[in-house]
Structure 1
């Protein structure tokens, strides 16, 4: 039991199943054995029981509290609290309120607190009652030294939370940020904002108030779609993720380690100082409006990849194939040189083949590795056309376009579902589509430019 509890610190809830396997019982049997009060139950310290219970959901941890007085006491002082409350039900509110009052009166430390409800303000009759009660709970949480705080669908004075020196991680989803006096928060290390409306002043104030922040994630946040660049400046920032937050971004983070960006169009990102520590950088382009994926779009992509940092990975999801005049592209950007390692492409369109799409794709990115996820028919077309491009570049004929002459070598690898491994493809035109052309497959190419 002691070894089981120790391992839980590293590997989490999966150890429950592993431990059950070691002692020869099912998971439910393990719970029954504990319920029968095996003598070893109460040998564990409260600290170790806390570690076990924290690896379970709050509901599962509550079930384990009936095992013995020791486990009940450990559960009653559990430092991690996770409540998804139906605020329209008075019983739910009363249960949570009783628990929070017990933590307040006993001054029980709280390390992690999560509170969510999807219908918080759907019923006006409950709004007046809910707000003071939740404010009361948040006051208890902050007073009891919370380090990891997650709140959903609630109006918050965010700087009042940041004023509490214990908070190291703050996650807000669908919350309304209310203005308040800006403070310095030297404890916060990670800030996550989902579906939160921000304006330029609020973003700058947040970053300025958290001088030691290391991780900043914001997804589907509105209010930043202006013509003015949104500046993210932080010496301490190491991990930055921007997902579906349109706008112009100016990033000045000299110690950045990871940068991830997702949008429907070519990014408008300016890297003020490229970090020497940057190990991973990824762009995901979800091309929902396929009519915009035209020659101008690919020109813009190549220019961006040529003028920015060297990207580790670019991912493109294409929903439609358009014919593109490749000659016009070559004339416009013959001197640009994209910088990237891996290009991931998901081809969703079903009908037609377009050699100009493949030509333009590799021209705009020039990846060292190209990963393709699509039907066997589309993958076969990719293989055939890339091999044609390579052979054309090796030909003594002067009829090849400048693009074709750049590709010196191609190696194609296909994923074997049965063996769950990759193997080199010996190119035979059209071979992969001999059976089940609509079946989806994975293939990757190593390209030598």
Structure 2
């Protein structure tokens, strides 16, 4: 192709996106070094630079990685991905780059101080398998005043996770810490997986996904209600739940923590809920906490779905509903629709079958 086309000869040697995997073979390292030197000498623009090590001798390669990284930064890299075990990423140098818009660090090591530079260009940060503490994390966020997306996943050294950012809109946390406090007034999407429900301060409608790893109890649902009450209305809430203990509805109703913020759409993942749904108070506690207008179910077990539908119908029909005491909003009506918005019969096998087949029927709840 190079012989036939001068255009192709120029194009293949100046690709803006570079993705390298380093193995233990020295020849692979020499190839990467030759390519990066050519980009450095020719000042060839780099849009994305991704470097990962696989069975490589990391310590011996660190000086080479420093060299390649500097070339990428000097050539205007916008997206930087480093997946390099124990590599001491020069974070001050990285944040000093005026072109960088997305930073992904996996398995590296970081050293941050209060003197970190201001990086006004960076919009997305993803950190995974790093060692961080609360101060390091907040210092990094403070250095990126216009950050809109932040991911922190399986980072050690943080029993307490506190995140404060006025610009943040998308946040994903997979972190098993004891306390999680989020102050992000412009947050619109939160994906959280951990032991405890985070404390949240927001100012607008948001979309949230909660993965709970512990067995649910009365206190958990009280925290969920308080959590949701931080917003007058949630556009969408998704719950992935593994276990649930018996819920004391009397204790729940005695927990007067403000008013429940209505959830427009509640997505309930029931793939692992065959045991949970046997507890009738689970559905009561869930709706008491979320007060959804629309309920979407994900399940592959007809029996599980049938039990939930039966409980919903009981709550609507029973004059002795648990909601008639201590809560002003009682379930008045429930309707089911298929994916084409056609009305379905609640007690029919067709409804449960459609849910388990993934045809996405849904429920509309009138309070």
CA distance in 2, matches of 1:157, 1:422: 54
Change (3 A) 1:423 1:321: farther
Q: Which runs of 5+ in 1 are unaligned?
A: 1-34, 36-64, 121-125, 394-398, 416-420
Instruction: Name the residue aligned to 2:151.
Output: 217
Q: Which runs of 5+ in 2 are unaligned?
A: none
CA distance in 2, matches of 1:297, 1:242: 19
Instruction: Name the residue aligned to 1:326.
Output: 249
CA distance in 2, matches of 1:354, 1:424: 28
Q: Match for 2:98 among 153, 161, 165?
A: 165
Instruction: Name the residue aligned to 1:445.
Output: 363
Q: Deviations over 1:309-360 (max 9, x none)?
A: 6332222223345433323322334964243222211221335733222122
Verify the 8 A CA contact 1:384 1:429 in the aligned structure 2. Answer: no
Q: Match for 2:213 among 288, 291, 297?
A: 288
SS of aligned partner of 1:445: strand
Instruction: Name the residue aligned to 1:4.
Output: none
Verify the 8 A CA contact 1:315 1:343 in the aligned structure 2. Answer: yes
Give how far 1:387 is off: 1.7
| Residue 150 (1) aligns with residue 81 (2) | yes
Verify the 8 A CA contact 1:183 1:209 in the aligned structure 2. Answer: yes
Instruction: Name the residue aligned to 2:336.
Output: 412
Q: Which has the higher contact order (CA 8 A, sep 6+)?
A: 2
Q: Deviations over 1:175-225 (max 9, x none)?
A: 111346521222222222222221122112212222232332222223221
5 Å matches for 1:78-97? 78-86=15-23, 88-97=24-33
Instruction: Name the residue aligned to 1:261.
Output: 191
Instruction: Name the residue aligned to 2:164.
Output: 232
Verify the 8 A CA contact 1:315 1:345 in the aligned structure 2. Answer: yes
CA distance in 2, matches of 1:380, 1:296: 27
Q: Match for 1:402 among 305, 319, 323?
A: 323
Change (3 A) 1:422 1:173: farther
SS of aligned partner of 2:283: helix
Give how far 1:251 is off: 3.9
Name the structure with the higher strand share: 2
Change (3 A) 1:66 1:118: farther
| Residue 365 (1) aligns with residue 290 (2) | yes
Name the structure with the higher helix share: 1
Change (3 A) 1:448 1:265: farther
CA distance in 1, matches of 2:298, 2:59: 51
SS of aligned partner of 2:236: strand
CA distance in 2, matches of 1:217, 1:334: 30
5 Å matches for 1:65-76? 68-76=5-13
Farther off after superposition, 244-253 or 292-301:
244-253
Verify the 8 A CA contact 1:376 1:439 in the aligned structure 2. Answer: no
Instruction: Name the residue aligned to 1:50.
Output: none
SS of aligned partner of 1:372: strand
Verify the 8 A CA contact 1:379 1:443 in the aligned structure 2. Answer: no
SS of aligned partner of 1:319: strand
Change (3 A) 1:356 1:249: closer
Give how far 1:157 is off: 1.8
CA distance in 2, matches of 1:142, 1:334: 50
Verify the 8 A CA contact 2:179 2:196 in the aligned structure 1. Answer: no
Verify the 8 A CA contact 2:226 2:257 in the aligned structure 1. Answer: no
SS of aligned partner of 1:384: helix
Give how far 1:308 is off: 4.9
Question: Larger C-alpha radius of gyration, 1 or 2?
Answer: 1
Change (3 A) 1:335 1:104: closer
SS of aligned partner of 2:345: coil
Verify the 8 A CA contact 1:224 1:230 in the aligned structure 2. Answer: no
Farther off after superposition, 206-215 or 144-153:
206-215
Give how far 1:102 is off: 1.0
- Alpha-carbon RMSD: 2.9
Verify the 8 A CA contact 1:176 1:196 in the aligned structure 2. Answer: yes
Give how far 1:438 is off: 7.9
SS of aligned partner of 2:155: coil
Query: How many residues are aligned here?
Result: 358
Give how far 1:260 is off: 0.8
Change (3 A) 1:167 1:412: same
